[in-house]
């Protein structure tokens, strides 16, 4: 997985963003048909509609701005490392368990 240049996620529905989190670890920009708010807010790739033309255009966008997206990923990367996510997940489950 480290050899890819761009993560392509042509999903209709996503139930687990683990692949996205893993790619952030390796500073790989994303083209996705899901999670548009996250991708746009973090500026880590491009959102595409579930149409071939839209997906192709998003790939071209990421390719032309590749270095910019990689720099954005480096800035947000610590927030998405599993070692930083797991304590928050545990805390959330502990709160739920107390309710």
pLDDT score at 56: 96
- Closest of 26, 34, 18, 21 to residue 1, by C-alpha: 26
User: Which residue range(s) make up the domain with 80?
Assistant: 7-98
Taking the C-alpha atoms of residue 68 and residue 84, their distance in angstroms, rounded to an integer, is: 24
Is residue 44 one of the residues assigned to a domain?
Answer: yes
Tell me the per-residue pLDDT of 29-83, one tens digit each, with 9 for 90 and over: 999 888 777 788 889 999 999 899 999 999 999 999 999 999 999 998 888 777 8
Is residue 75 one of the residues assigned to a domain?
Answer: yes
Is residue 14 one of the residues assigned to a domain?
Answer: yes
Look at the chain and report how many structural domains it folds into: 1
Q: For helices 52-64 and 66-80, what crossing angle results, to 10°?
A: 90
């Amino acid at each position: 997985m480290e050899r890819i240049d761009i993560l392509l996620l042509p999903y209709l529905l996503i139930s687990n963003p683990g692949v996205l989190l893993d790619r952030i670890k390796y500073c790989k920009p994303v083209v996705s048909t899901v999670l548009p708010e996250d991708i746009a807010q973090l500026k880590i790739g491009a959102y595409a509609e579930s149409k071939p033309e839209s997906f192709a255009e998003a790939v071209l966008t990421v390719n032309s701005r590749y270095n910019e997206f990689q720099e954005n990923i480096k800035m947000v990367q610590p927030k998405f490392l599993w070692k930083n996510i797991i304590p928050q997940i545990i805390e959330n489950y502990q709160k739920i368990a107390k309710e």
